Chain A
């Protein structure tokens, strides 16, 4: 579905960004990306989404038309002059924009009753949920998610993770999910890439061989979590040794 080889995008004379990323994502796969702050995760999504064209290396998307990539940014990026419902409908074609289609997604993210609010009157988590609905409503084939649940409480977060899974079950959407939450990555992803460094590189790849739906915190996932924590920890130690 999505093939990336020797992808590189750096800033400030190769001191920030990412480099040497090789990925091959199958259709319907959910890929997790973990990594310390500033290692180029958001930059990677910007490049994959086509917003940043100044990369080196190759990206190829199989049988991809233009409108197949959906993106949810790290910030909600709602349009302040549009109400919640118009923000959700923003990416739809003109004919669909004024229909009731937004309602389904409004309900799914638990914002029923807030459709006429303006973004200034939303809490951080509500704004983030609006942004999730906006990204989902166009039903893209590849969904790029940059820390989609970072502003949510544990309970809402779990609900929306399950929402994401139910959409995946229906549409087999290919997803790339950036997160700082190891449990979230373990619960959702087929493969997890751990990035490290400045510029970021793939430090390790962890496969989660377990059928979905998974049970949170089951034995296998716990073992994988310990493994990932170990990876991140080694990274820290290595950084310490350098100093």
Chain B
């Protein structure tokens, strides 16, 4: 009797592992389902309120109107232009900011003298709210693309830089000693031990850098642009069309989420070895 209950318990414990894939999808589906109940109710309430005139339509138009706006922009071809311009700016800024952060962060993290020399400076610069650079960049580079991309790059730089330095300095000395036993050169040591060990922290930095990149692209496009989602915000404000503003906010949210999901996927792919909560089973 006892042994039978015991067996049953064991079987019950073992089952989630075996069914992990199908059950995982099921749980994911259920998670999305539960998570979307509230937004859907809110959307319906919003739609009804806007249709019945409870909400002033010139301030907060109904969701369907916003959707129509997006579809009409898609049909007249302007949607793709705005999105691609904004995405290009984010990617260029992100690439430049990350690239600079990798080079400088690796040097500062690796060489003590470089750290003493450079880190105080970067800490000081970091304490300047990045938006304060806007006027200076415009003075220096005009209102065109360079100043926008620089602003985004500055925003991306700091989180990536800080995480790389922390990642490199946090590499377990014991693992570095393994490399020294095999007489790795500094270059080999960096490539085979330090960089892989610092990778998790680097990816964390990239994800928060990307978030800031999206924030700064809005700032950059608000300060003067002739295309882009941020420009749509300005247009919507100037033409009193809240549907344009909300449509562009929505598009920012969707794009931000998609790009973050890509990085999250990269993270998952390259950090499978990590002994973390999400990697169990």
Q: Please report A residues at the B interface, Cβ cutoff 8 Å.
A: 49-51, 66-67, 69-71, 73, 75, 77, 79-82, 90-91, 118-120, 138
Contacts and interface: CB of A to CB of B under 8 A. Distances in A.
16 contacts: A51-B177, A51-B180, A67-B182, A69-B181, A73-B174, A73-B178, A77-B178, A79-B197, A80-B273, A80-B275, A81-B196, A81-B199, A90-B178, A91-B181, A120-B273, A138-B182
Contact of A119 (B180, B183, B273): B273
A74 to B, nearest CB: 10
Contacts of B182: 67, 90-91, 138
Contacts of A69: 181
Interface of B: 174-175, 177-178, 180-183, 192-193, 196-197, 199, 272-275, 279
Contacts of A77: 174-175, 177-178
Contacts of B181: 49, 51, 69-71, 91
Contacts of A51: 177, 180-181
Contacts of B273: 80-82, 118-120
Nearest to A51: B177
Contact of B274 (A50, A67, A80, A82): A80
Contact of A79 (B175, B275, B279): B175
A75 B183 CA distance: 19
Contacts of B178: 73, 77, 79, 90
Contact of B275 (A70, A120, A138): A120
Most buried by A among B177, B182, B192: B182
A138 B272 CA distance: 28
B272 to A, nearest CB: 7
A91 B180 CA distance: 10
Nearest to A140: B181
A11 to B, nearest CB: 16
A128 B197 CA distance: 20
A197 B197 CA distance: 38
A89 B196 CA distance: 17
A60 B180 CA distance: 19
A143 to B, nearest CB: 12
Contacts of B197: 79, 81
B251 to A, nearest CB: 37
A71 B196 CA distance: 22
Contacts of B199: 81
User: Taking each of A49, A81, A82, which has the highest tally of chain B beta carbons within 10 Å of its own beta carbon?
Assistant: A81
Give me the 10 closest cross-chain CB pairs, A-B, nearest first. Answer: A120-B275, A118-B273, A91-B182, A81-B273, A81-B196, A71-B181, A77-B178, A80-B273, A77-B174, A66-B183
B180, B181, B183: residue with the most chain A Cβ atoms closer than 10 Å: B181
A67 B183 contact: yes
A79 B196 contact: yes
Nearest to A72: B181
Given A49-B181, A120-B274, A79 B193 contact: yes
B279 A120 contact: yes
Contacts of B183: 66-67
A115 B66 CA distance: 55
Chain A CB within 10 A, most for which of B175, B193, B196, B273 = B273
A103 to B, nearest CB: 20
A117 to B, nearest CB: 10
Contacts of B196: 79, 81
A71 B177 CA distance: 10
Contacts of B177: 51, 73, 77
Contacts of B192: 90
A81 B183 CA distance: 20
A75 B199 CA distance: 23
A110 B174 CA distance: 26
Contacts of B175: 77, 79
A43 to B, nearest CB: 13
